[in-house]
Chains A and B, each alone.
Chain A
Amino acid sequence: MLTLQPNYFPLPSLQNFKCIPSISFSRRKSHRTKPRNFSSPPTPRISASSAAETSVEEKRSVDGGDTLPEGLSREAMPRHVAVIMDGNARWARAQGLPPAAGHEAGVRSLKQMVKLSCMWEIKVLTVFAFSSQNWFRPKAEVDFLISLFESVLRADIENFVRENIRLCVIGDSSKLPKSLQMLINEAEEMTKNNTRLDLMVAVSYSGRDDIVQACQKIAYKVKDGLLEPGDITELLIEQELETNAVDFPFPDLLIRTSGELRVSNFLLWQLAYTELFFTGSLWPDFGEAEYVQALQSYQDRQRRFGLRDGAA
């Protein structure tokens, strides 16, 4: 069982990290599928730590079988959940803490989500850790985020092996420090045979770049005379996308925290038929209750894939 101990993982030095100037804007309302008057109240903020762990234990059925929370159906669980982990800096500001504390709290939320996903038998969890646009943030913040990722990964490799989690990192790793690139390769190699959960971490990732590189690979085959332009199909392009490393490459559910109503260049092609769930909770506050809410929203929806009701 994956355990969370806040003081287990050493944290990078915060000496060189400066506070980001605050960005003031009003809290967004979350969007839901049930009919409503344009907005619904933000979900209540719950600390994502020991309280959630306790509730997970309490909700286990007496016979120790199904570990799903009440209200969720095993048959309707999504196989692939994707998450845009937004709101760390805003959370820190609201707490009167430096932004670094927000990112560290975000790591704790992520670890809990990984644990819950394993428990609830979700097959693939994809998280948007660092976008290609994030490189343009202040250097101090970028350096902190990269070093945080490296330290967490270094400390967690053993856990991934133990918990049977396969790690896959997608994105343009060429921009990452060499030490981190080597660490990623090592982690992927050590966990490549794991089967319980595919954890895809998008770092230095752009959905458009993913599509472009896939199209380029196909185009090279045309250039080399292996393929006619007329033979190019959607399936051929899909096979070249970075997410093709997992059995279920297309998310069934995308969750974005902090109330922003955008996909921000995450996945794109893969989100064609994904159910989108936007919540006003900031990422460090996203715990089991919010995850259950997102899954319940997903299970309430009717996915038609362009067909009529009952025909999908």
Chain B
Amino acid sequence: MMVLVNMDNRSSKSAISTLYESICGFLRMCLFRVLAFGSIPEHIAFIMDGNRRFSRSRNLNGGVSHRVGFLALVSILQHCYELGVKYVTVYAFSIDNFNRSADEVESIMDLMQEKIEKLLKEESIVNKYGIKINFFGNLNLLNEPVRRAAERAMVVTAGNTRAVLSICVAYTCTDEIVHAVQESCHKKWARFQEEKPNGLDNDDDMIECFGKNGLEESEITVVDLERNMYTAECPDPDILVRTSGETRLSNFLLWQTTCCQLLSPSALWPEISLRHLVWMILEYQRVRPYLEKKKRL
């Protein structure tokens, strides 16, 4: 009898919980429909700052801080994709972060591997929203299990088209630009380096390699650089959000955030919620007409 009562209690709690989630989901959709009367940004980038401060403020174990941050990430991703934001980019791990203690770096790498594998599971948000996952950064700096997990995630989700999640790991923008220059040089001059291993002696060599427009076509241009950036397939962010109130870019998307709206809510990353996202969208909608006019000047 006691067992039946307990089972009834659990199933009624589960039913209430499901009903509550359904109501919240319905209200959220109504809110998003209202927001959609204005412009919805195509691409939002996040610097997920404040995990450790959150844990310290709540006397949580240090290892828990990034797990709590991951929960916040999944929640905000869900809201972004429901709202119609197609591209979300997050700054998960900077090249500078490798200078932290070995224990912390290792625990973050382990967490990353665990969460990447979890994202690929059937019931995860990735499959629910048809998300393509990108990993941007110098992946050679990652340990092999994490790198393989990241590469597998990119392969498995390559066919998804509804939304894009770009995770910047082992990343800095200055390193990205160096990589873009290297790739541009490789691609542009691989051919003539075989023919002219000592370099080009004169303009005739240039024309011989590149045709009659050789002088112009041999130059590395902004198009070459952008084509070889990690972020080449994504549009520039419309909004860049850094949580915890810090106002600096920390070498994140420097090139791509030329005319991007920068927001720095004081909330720590694990505290980020729907109301912060609504505020971000409203701020974006407020300045967008002015930004569009400025772009035309």
Contacts and interface: CB of A to CB of B under 8 A. Distances in A.
B254 A133 contact: no
Contact of A268 (B219, B255, B264): B255
A274 interface: yes
A308 B101 contact: yes
Interface in A1-43: 23, 25-26, 28, 31-38
B interface, size bucket:
35 or more
A275 interface: yes
Contacts of B178: 232-234, 237
A25 to B, nearest CB: 5
B35 interface: no
B84 to A, nearest CB: 23
A263 interface: yes
Interface of A is mostly: loop
Nearest to A28: B287
A33 B186 contact: no
A120 interface: no
A310 B99 CA distance: 13
Nearest to A219: B220
A31 B240 CA distance: 14
B167 to A, nearest CB: 17
Given A208-B222, A216-B220, A263-B257, A271 B249 contact: yes
B76 interface: no
A233 B138 CA distance: 14
13 contacts: A133-B297, A215-B180, A216-B220, A219-B220, A222-B189, A223-B189, A224-B200, A225-B198, A234-B178, A237-B174, A276-B249, A306-B95, A308-B101
Interface of A: 23, 25-26, 28, 31-38, 133-134, 136-137, 207-209, 211-212, 215-216, 218-219, 222-226, 229-230, 232-234, 237, 261-265, 268-269, 271-278, 301, 303, 305-308, 311
Interface of B: 52, 94-97, 99-101, 104, 172-175, 177-178, 180-182, 184-186, 189, 197-200, 218-222, 225, 245-251, 254-255, 257-266, 279, 286-287, 289-290, 293, 296-297
